[in-house]
Amino acid sequence: MAIDVKIPAVGESITTGTIAQWHQSNGAQVKEGDPLLTLETDKVSNELEAEASGVLQILAEEGAEVEIGSVVATIDPAGASAQPPQEEKAEPDPEPMKPAAETDSGKDTVPVSPTVREFAKEKGVDLTKVEGTGRKGFITKADVESALSLAKADLGSKELTVFQKPEITPAETSEETRFTRQKMSPLRRKIATHLVNAQHTAAILTTFNECDMSAVMAMRKRLQDAFTAKHDVKLGFMSFFVKAVVDALKTVPSVNARIDGDDMIFNHYFDIGVAVGTKRGLIVPVLRDCDAKSFAQIEKDIRVYAEKARDGKIEFSDLQGGVFTISNGGVYGSMLSTPILNPPQSGILGMHNIQQRPIAVDGEVVIRPMMYLALSYDHRIVDGKEAVTFLNRVKDCIENPARLLVEA
């Protein structure tokens, strides 16, 4: 009996994905564990592997948008047993594919996914000059970035040919040189749909405050060397904010809730999503059980996710189950913003850059490192008073970080 190859469930609110690439041809003999396809969503790309050995029958074309749970192929185990034993022995193990020159006819192509091909095109990198380190010789985004770095470091080398030569097209001699029309990628379309749906399905309101970062910065500076030596990870600002958010969620339980039809579901756990910027866009991996974790463990988890995001190894399970999100636009220089909710969550905290500003303290004007905070929340379930209380609690914990240690 044929085994169905189904698109697995992904993060909340993600209902479809795009088949970026089939790694096997229709009718191919596959073995258990062989990569079948690369699936892209608005957050991550992931490889699906064969669950059994047999003959592959592809039902959905490459580039097709498919629903979660839909059957995109079948594997017939009977096809495996029908193959003569001597044929299997005679067939050599597949060797890693070598990058082949891309021709105008399109018959010989570089082994690379559409996403990486588009990235290389944007950077002007000739993929025929890039050596793939992925499975079966596939070129990854890291390979392109590595080739780009080597090219920039050695622009004087005559042997260096990684950059593509610009091609003059008829369009460049017409009026269309004043603009470029480009079709939105499936990934960009999904991000756009996700953001619009968030705006349409929730009553989003944002409240603001500011906090004095002096105490956190002083504590961080005082403990940094000992903390790093003991835990092999630096003490960052994010662990303070994660702990402050957990404290605020305990103080205002309605922010740790969500709407499901006519019901309100109150969460009794504290899985906090931390937005991480990648070249593919913003993703939100989830830190589990933050109420039970130390500052060091939170920082280590953040580092692991950052490395996985950089290497394109974020998994679907890493993005599931968050109850609240923290987004740090300050790393890009943002002074103030109104973050958009990550459905079905009811709250998201926006951090911003730290600036030296004059403020009044005990009747005197002093210069302090200040950060604006923004809390966007679903007004259907969180009242204004509760939102302000929540944000004030976060502010108090950051300005008095000792509270986080003694839970005062």
Number of domains comprising the chain = 3
The answer to whether 211 touches 373, Cβ cutoff 8 Å, is yes
- Whether 118 and 74 map to the same domain: the answer is no
Q: Percent of the chain scored above 90 by pLDDT? A: 45
Asked, for residue 75, whether it belongs to a domain, the answer is: yes
383 included as an active-site residue? yes
Judge if 139 and 19 occupy the same domain. Answer: no
- Last residue of one domain, picked from the residues 139, 165, 191: 165
pLDDT, position 193: 80
- Quote the mean pLDDT of the chain: 83
The domain that holds 76 is classified in CATH as 2.40.50.100
pLDDT of residue 90: 47
Q: Is the pLDDT of residue 92 over 90?
A: no
- Same structural domain for residues 364 and 264? yes
What sections of 186-324 are H helices per DSSP? 186-201, 214-231, 237-251, 295-310
Crossing angle of helices 295-310 and 214-231, rounded to 10°: 80
pLDDT in tens, 145-195: 777 777 765 554 444 455 555 554 554 545 567 888 887 766 677 778 878
pLDDT tens sequence across 356-368: 999 999 999 999 9
Does 239 share its domain with 357?
Answer: yes
Q: Residue 13: its pLDDT value, please?
A: 57
Given the residues 126, 231, 271, 379, select the one marked as catalytic.
Answer: 379
Instruction: Based on the fold, state whether residues 118 and 212 are members of the same structural domain.
Output: no
Residue 260's alpha-carbon distances to 90, 195, 201, 379, 380, in angstroms, are: 58, 19, 12, 15, 12
Grade residue 100 by pLDDT with cuts at 50, 70 and 90. Answer: very low
Query: What radius of gyration do the chain's Cα atoms show?
Result: 26
Domain identity same for 270 and 133: no
Residues 374, 253 within the same domain:
yes
Domain residues for 161?
Answer: 114-165
Q: What is the pLDDT of residue 105?
A: 40
* pLDDT tops 80 at residue 4: yes
Catalytic, 42? Answer no
Stated length of the chain: 408
**Is 215 in the same domain as 345?**
yes
**pLDDT tens digits, one per residue of 56-79:** 999 988 878 888 889 999 999 887
User: Does residue 98 surpass a pLDDT of 50?
Assistant: no
**Measured distance CA(252)–CA(267) in Å, rounded:** 12
Q: What are phi and psi of 141, to 5 degrees?
A: -65, -35
In-domain check, residue 187: no
- 297 shares a domain with 157: no
What per-residue confidence (pLDDT) applies to 327? 95
The CA-atom distances, in angstroms, between 63 and each of 21, 49, 169 are 7, 18, 26
Residues 151 and 269 in one domain: no
CB distance 378 to 340 below 8 Å: no
Residue in the structure block whose two tokens are 């969620």: 249
pLDDT per residue over 306-352, tens digit each? 888 887 788 878 888 899 999 999 989 999 999 999 989 999 999 99
The CATH number of whichever domain residue 138 belongs to comes to 4.10.320.10
pLDDT in tens, 263-321: 999 999 999 999 887 776 778 899 999 999 999 999 999 999 988 888 778 887 888 88
Rounded to 10 degrees, the C-alpha dihedral 174/175/180/182 comes to -70
Do both 390 and 314 map to the same domain? yes
**CB burial of residue 91 (10 Å; 0-12, 13-18, 19+):** exposed
What pLDDT is attached to residue 102?
Answer: 46
Q: What is the DSSP letter of 178?
A: G
Mind giving me the DSSP string for 37-102? EEEE-SS-EEEEE-SS-EEEEE-S-TT-EEETT-EEEEEEHHHHHHS-HHHHHHSPPPPPPPPPPP
Is 186 a member of any domain? Answer: no
